[in-house]
Structure 1
């Protein structure tokens, strides 16, 4: 029959079959008409059925197997990923244990990276460098606290003893005035230390110079040198200014820095020699301000510490009653406030201490 040629088996239901299925097993059926060669006017209907129970069961088993395989695969992948991540993070856990063991009293220790993967080596090196800087800063802070206590304790002890002596003895007005004058000097020294420490604290917090267009730096250096004429004459020294430059600077800060440098040079220069203030344009943006003096060559190991607070290279010549060891620290701070850096060198009996500053900066008016 042309009507049923190529027709596939269809699911057998009560709707497409006059005869209900005799079993509950799933079946498929196809119906078509046949013409009897004997009685062509009486075609009869033929139905072919196919039992698909085994096929359905197989499909269900395949679906169940696929579901179990997918679930098992997800579980195994998750478990494998967890194990891999746990193993991969083990070096970080070991580093964490070492880092947690560090304390303020054990900053000298370093993180051991010998058993760590190469990918972590740069991180470990940088972390150990950071520990080194922290150790140096911590030691410097401890030394700074001790130096501050020492610098303040000496004048305070002098004040206390002087006041006790003045109160316990009967003195005339002249002696009391002398005692008060000595106490005033100690108080002024304490005030100077506190003032300098406050200035350094502001510089450490990132204060920048208030720049304005200034004229000749050589003229500025000569004006500062005029304030030191008496001290230079007492030390048997002369002063000369070499070079010149101009730019936008904080003039008051440069005056303070030059004054500290000239004062430092006049204390350590050999009598009868000349102190030189060198002003040199290193580049279109950088200016060198340097004070040179002839004297004893400073040890190369000491030079990096010249700008540390309360550091004195020669305690026997430091004149601690007048100088408290913050002058060069202030010079370094002023250099940083101008976007520059301090410099120090000493060879052949010539010591040169100064700073490199930027001629212009964001603070220019």
Structure 2
């Protein structure tokens, strides 16, 4: 089933809405005209009834009663379309104008049920194809006799007018609906032209032109949020593409060096005969490169799991102070070699994956030792604040420029690119830390000022 376009839908809604309004207007207009005719007919009929009642009221003698029909004829001269009939108490017609055609029930009800004729209720009927509107009342003559007087108007010209009026009104409503649909289509198409312009601009954006943005000035208010949201999406895509490109480049660079080393060392080993010790030395050297690549691949797989929500930490009670002390013992020799002291204060217990949290702390501590000047101290402090546990790792050293702080947790990102092959690792350690913290529902922040850099972990505290 083909879906209607937005222009067609709005045009159709315009036409339907206009038709409903016009139909309602036509209905009330028709009712108003009908009411006007009824009120006019009622006024005329009441006037004739008052005249006839007055003639009967002043009839006292038989002679006056015998002359009454002539007086009624004289009184009704010139009233075309008006019919009058008078019946006596026995129901016989006493007087009737030419063309008077009344239902027998209308002439008899007043004598059978006098109460129904006191108010002169307006009735409408159709006889021999002619429509009438009239009423009947019970009148008393001056001599005490009662008569039923029925008056009616031929309303055939009213019916013809109303039929023609309804036909013209129906045609007008149909034409108005068609005109409204056409105007609605034109106006909607014109009104949606900015949307088509935006669509054309969006269609021209490709992966090579992600830096382009939709203009937000001059757009209708309804499209500005759409353009703003689309521009924000383009910015995210542009940033993701740039990071992906840089990520791919970094991977190629990181893998190229150990592969190049392996190839060179292998070529040297094969260039001439060597002793067992020399081959062992080359193999040990190659092993280091293999371990470096294995570590890099393992870290990348770990981050890929984190990206796809596959890092599901097991929940157990973890004493962070004990884990930190164990790591101090592990890094003690390296710290002494660099002339760096390690201090831990406070304690904290959380619920999480012990090995994952230990890995995060290990990465942060090794990073702090590596960037601490000889003779200085790395300090780790732990505390609980309400429902949260904080772990701060501080190390004195050169300040990290503020523009680098937001990107420290990006993969392969280094503040000083020239140092990337001098034992700083592949640049994935902090990315792994952030993934672990995120998997535990926590957060990590970094600040660097006054020759001091602080990484702070915030994790949900263990419920007491």
TM over 0.5: yes
- Give the structure, 1 or 2, with the largest relative contact order (CA under 8 Å, sep 6 or more): 1
* Counterpart residue number, 2:248: 145
* Counterpart residue number, 1:349: 451
Contact 2:390 2:457 in 1 (8 A): yes
| Structure 1 position 160, deviation (Å) | 1.4
Number of matched pairs: 330
| Structure 1 position 318, deviation (Å) | 4.6
**How far apart, CA to CA, are the structure 2 residues paired with 1:322 and 1:294?**
18
Contact 1:332 1:355 in 2 (8 A): no
Please report the RMSD computed on the Cα atoms of aligned residues, expressed in angstroms: 2.8
| Structure 1 position 343, deviation (Å) | 1.2
- Aligned ranges 1:22-37 → 2 under 5 Å: none
**How far apart, CA to CA, are the structure 1 residues paired with 2:317 and 2:297?**
30
* Counterpart residue number, 1:332: 434
Counterpart pick for 1:262 among 365, 375, 379: 365
1:106 aligns with 2:199: no
Counterpart pick for 2:425 among 315, 323, 336: 323
* Counterpart residue number, 2:231: 128
TM-score (norm 1): 0.82
Counterpart pick for 1:296 among 388, 398, 402: 398
| Structure 1 position 238, deviation (Å) | 1.0
**How far apart, CA to CA, are the structure 1 residues paired with 2:306 and 2:167?**
75
* Counterpart residue number, 2:178: 75
| Structure 1 position 195, deviation (Å) | 0.2
Evaluate the alpha carbon distance shift between residue 64 and residue 263 of structure 1 in structure 2; reply closer, same or farther with a 3 A threshold: same
Contact 2:360 2:433 in 1 (8 A): yes
| Structure 1 position 321, deviation (Å) | 4.6
1:97 aligns with 2:218: no
- Aligned ranges 1:226-237 → 2 under 5 Å: 226-237=329-340
1:184 aligns with 2:300: no
Evaluate the alpha carbon distance shift between residue 64 and residue 227 of structure 1 in structure 2; reply closer, same or farther with a 3 A threshold: same
| Greater Rg by CA | 2
1:284 aligns with 2:386: yes
Contact 2:313 2:356 in 1 (8 A): no
Counterpart pick for 2:306 among 203, 208, 227: 203
1:155-199 per-residue CA deviation (whole Å, 9 max, x = no partner) reads: 111111222222221111111111111111111111110000000
* Counterpart residue number, 1:306: 408
- Please give the secondary structure, in 2, of the residue aligned with 1:240: strand
| Structure 1 position 340, deviation (Å) | 1.9
* Counterpart residue number, 2:5: none
Contact 2:380 2:393 in 1 (8 A): yes
Counterpart pick for 1:85 among 182, 188, 208: 188
| Structure 1 position 344, deviation (Å) | 0.9
Contact 2:345 2:382 in 1 (8 A): yes
**How far apart, CA to CA, are the structure 2 residues paired with 1:9 and 1:331?**
95
- Please give the secondary structure, in 1, of the residue aligned with 2:402: coil
**How far apart, CA to CA, are the structure 1 residues paired with 2:252 and 2:437?**
27
1:221 aligns with 2:360: no
